[in-house]
Amino acid sequence: MVLSSPRPQPVSDTPDDASLWSALRQAGSQSARERLFTLHVDFARQIAAKHFRRGRAPDIELQDLRQLAYAGLLEAIDRFDPGQGAPFRGYAARRITGSILNGLAKSSEMREQISFRNRIKAERLRSLTAKGLDEVDAADALRALTELAVGLAIGFMLESPGLVAAPGEADPAPNAYESLAWRDQLRRLADEIARLPDRERIIVRGHYLEGVDFDSLGKLLQISKGRVSQVHRAALGRIRTRLSQDESFSLQR
Mean pLDDT, rounded, for 228-236:
88
Rounded Cα–Cα distance for residues 233 and 170 (Å): 32
The residue count of the chain comes to 253
Q: CA 191 from chain center: how many Å?
A: 30
Q: Which of 87-96, 105-114, 168-177, 229-238 is modeled with the greatest confidence?
A: 87-96
Boundaries of every domain in the chain: 17-112, 129-244
On average, the pLDDT of the chain sits at 75
The pLDDT value given to residue 15: 52
Mean pLDDT, rounded, for 102-109:
79
The per-residue pLDDT for range 115-157, each reduced to its tens digit, is 666 777 777 777 766 554 445 454 455 455 455 565 666 766 6
Mean pLDDT, rounded, for 66-81:
92
One-letter amino acid for residue 88 of the chain: F
Rounded Cα–Cα distance for residues 45 and 56 (Å): 16
- Domain 129-244: CATH architecture, name and number where available: Up-down Bundle (1.20)
Kindly report the number of other CB atoms within 10 A of residue 87's CB atom: 14
Please state the pTM of the whole predicted model.
0.48
Kindly report the number of other CB atoms within 10 A of residue 229's CB atom: 20
The per-residue pLDDT for range 16-63, each reduced to its tens digit, is 578 899 999 998 899 899 999 999 999 999 999 998 888 766 678 888
CATH class given for the domain over 17-112:
mainly alpha
Question: Is pLDDT of 106 > 90?
Answer: no
The pLDDT value given to residue 142: 46
